[in-house]
Amino acid sequence: MSTFPFDIVGFDLDGTLLDSHGDLAAAVNHAIAHEGRQAIPASEVRDLIGGGAKKMLARALEVTGEPVSDARFDELHRILLDFYEANIAVETRLFPGGLEMLDGLAARGVKIAVVTNKLERFALRIFDELGLSDRFFTVIGGDTLGPGKAKPHPDLIFEMLDRAGVSREEARAVYVGDTTYDTGAAAAAGLPCVAVSFGFCDKPPRELGANAVIDHFDQLIPALDYLGTASVR
Query: Which of the residues are catalytic?
Result: 12
Is the separation of the CB atoms in 116 and 93 below 8 Å? no
Residue 218 has, within 13 A of its CA and on its CB side, a CA count of 2
Query: What angle separates helix 53-64 from helix 21-33, to the nearest 10 degrees?
Result: 60
The contacts of residue 28 (CB under 8 Å, 6+ apart) are 40, 45, 48, 56, 57, 60, 80
* Beta strand pairing call for 8-11 and 173-177: parallel
Amino acid at 92: T
Q: Is 135 helix (H, G, I), strand (E, B) or coil?
A: helix
Is the separation of the CB atoms in 119 and 14 below 8 Å? no
Closest CA to 150 of 173, 174, 184, 195: 184
Is the separation of the CB atoms in 199 and 96 below 8 Å? no
Cα distance between residue 130 and residue 102, in whole Å:
14
Q: Beta strands of 109-159 (E only): which ranges?
A: 111-115, 138-140
